[in-house]
Chains A and B, each alone.
Chain A
Amino acid sequence: MKAASDLCSSRREEALINAERGTRNAEFDESLLMSAAAFPNRQPTSRSALARARVPLARAALADCHLCAHHCGVNRLAGERGLCHAGADARVFSAQVEVSDELELIPVFAIAFSGCDLRCDFCITGAESWNPRAGQLLQGLEHSRRRHGLGQSIAAVQNLSAQSTSDIAARAKSALAKGARSIMILGGEPTIHLPAVLELVATLPDDAKLVWKTNAHGSAQARALLDGLFDVWLADYKFGNDTCALRLSRTPDYTRVVRENLVWVAREAGFAHFAKCVTSSHSCPVAAGRSDHADRAISNALGTGSIVASGDGRGASVRTHFAKCVICGGYSCELIVRHLLMPGHIECCWRPVAEWLASELPGVKVNLRSGFWPAWQAARHPELRRTTSDAETERALALAHELGLNLIE
Chain B
Amino acid sequence: VSPLYDRVLRFIDDAGADRFEALALAVFAHQFTHCRPYREYCLSRSQTPETVADWQAIPPVPIVAFKHADLCCGTPAQVFLSSGTSAGVEHRSRHQIPDLRLYRHSALAGLRQFLFPDAPRMRLVSLIHRVDDLPDSSLAQMVDWAMEAFGTECSSYVIGPQGIDFAAVTRALRESERDGEPVCVLTTTGALVCAIDHYRAEGSVFRLPHGSRLMDTGGDKGAPRHLSRNGLLHAVWNALAIPGYFCVNEYGMAELSSQYYDSVIADRVHGRHRSRRKLGAHWVRTLVLDPDALVPVQPGGCGLLCHFDLANAGSAMAVLSEDVGEQADDGFQLVGRAAGAELRGCSLSAVSPSDARTTAGIAD
- A and B bind: no
